[in-house]
Amino acid sequence: MSVILLERDIVHYEVLGRGRPLIFLHGWVGSWRYWIPVMQAASISFRAYALDFWGFGETAKKPIRYPLDQQILLLDSFLERMGIIKVALVGHGLGAIVAMQYALHHPEFVERVLAVSYPLEEGMINTRLKNSTPTALAEWLVGRSALTEPVRMDAPKTDPQAIQFSLASLAGLKDTLLQLNTACVLVNGQNDPLMEGPRLEQLSSLPEFTHAVTFEQSGHFPMLDESSKFNRLVNDFLALPSGESPRQLQIKEEWKRRVR
């Protein structure tokens, strides 16, 4: 287990591979651990990091650090401590919001963002996220398999206040996306019970360098439900030349054949 101290509190992270830096940011349910299969695939070409936010996994649990701005500051401090100047971010749920906010305010440090289950409006988040325990949320959102076991295993480590405080400080989610100049791919599971996907009128107003992809057989965790397709999408997105729009990316037929 790797840790750093930020203002005398422990932040847990893990890292695999060598190459350009890539950071995975977990959502409201689980921890860094469910990113392991994607990290392993990405580590062939990238130095892949994943960390636990304040209140999640093995990172310190202090309510004063749970608001969204503190989680964003955690990412900023982590990048500085690791000496990372330019990075690609892959975030899920809470992690997607942190990634988007960070990219908006620090575009000079972020090369591209892949945002999974990013809510374009606060009302698109199921109210069960506010009213259920982390363990109950995990049981609701994932089936039982080897890939989803890390979500259920680490859910009880979450301080419920970390979820509540982050939800209380959400604002301007759609505006963040509309103002973003960084290349971005939005990924949603068609069967996600927690997060409503973008509506048609919202998709028509996406910025030029933003592209939306729907995983038709996925729920809230596309990286686990359709892992091979997700890994290919991440790889293809990261391989795009700098400055090129991700709108050419599609769920290609050869991806589907590989996972049947």
Residue 206's CATH number: 3.40.50.1820
Tokens describing residue 74: 């955690």
| Amino acid 258: pLDDT | 41
| Residue whose structure tokens are 């982390």 | 134
Assigned domain for 107 exists = yes
Assigned domain for 260 exists = no
| Amino acid 257: pLDDT | 41
Number of domains the chain contains: 1
Q: What is the pTM of this model?
A: 0.94
| Amino acid 101: pLDDT | 97
Assigned domain for 48 exists = yes
Report the run of H or E that residue 229 belongs to, with start and end. Answer: helix 227-239
Tokens describing residue 240: 């795009």
| Amino acid 163: pLDDT | 97
| Residue whose structure tokens are 């690609």 | 88
Least confident of 20-34, 171-185, 207-221, 244-258: 244-258
Q: What is the mean pLDDT of residues 74-102?
A: 97
Top pLDDT among 246 and 11 is at 11
Assigned domain for 176 exists = yes
Report the run of H or E that residue 81 belongs to, with start and end. Answer: helix 68-82
Of the chain, the percentage scoring pLDDT greater than 70 comes to 96
The 10 Å CB-count burial string (b at 16+, else e) for 250-260 is eeeeebeeeee
Return mean pLDDT, the chain: 93
Assigned domain for 120 exists = yes
Range of the domain at 195: 2-255
Assigned domain for 130 exists = yes
Assigned domain for 23 exists = yes
Render 33-44 in DSSP notation, one character per residue: GGGHHHHHHHTT
Assigned domain for 136 exists = yes
Contact 122, 104 (CB under 8 A): no
> Using one digit for the tens of pLDDT, what is the confidence trace for 136-167?
999 999 988 999 999 999 999 999 999 999 99
